[in-house]
Amino acid sequence: MKQLHKSTSNRVLAGVLGGFAERYGIDPTVLRVIYAAVTIITATVPLVLLYLAAALIMPD
């Protein structure tokens, strides 16, 4: 079983979404577009804080 980690090859900011894409076999670009759309729809703050928390907690 693969462990959830930050990506070193699919990295735009901290590699969090790239790591999720690698773990679950999703295209990283599609995941980033979905994340950006949901972030804008939900007034930005909750998902930005969630991303920052994941960037601090997830191993490299």
Residue 2's pLDDT is: 73
Q: Give the residue among 10, 46, 50, 33 at the shortest CA–CA distance from 58.
A: 50
Q: Which of 37, 35, 38 is nearest to 26 (CA)?
A: 35
Q: What is the pLDDT of residue 4?
A: 83
Torsion on CA atoms 46, 52, 54, 58, rounded to nearest 10 = 180
The pLDDT value recorded for residue 47 is 85
- Name residues whose C-beta falls within 8 Å of residue 56's C-beta, 6 or more positions apart in sequence: none
pLDDT at site 44:
79
Is the pLDDT confidence value at 1 over 70? no
Cβ atoms of 26 and 32 within 8 Å: the answer is no
Q: Report pLDDT digits (tens) over 4-56.
A: 888 888 888 888 999 999 899 999 999 999 999 998 988 878 888 988 999 99
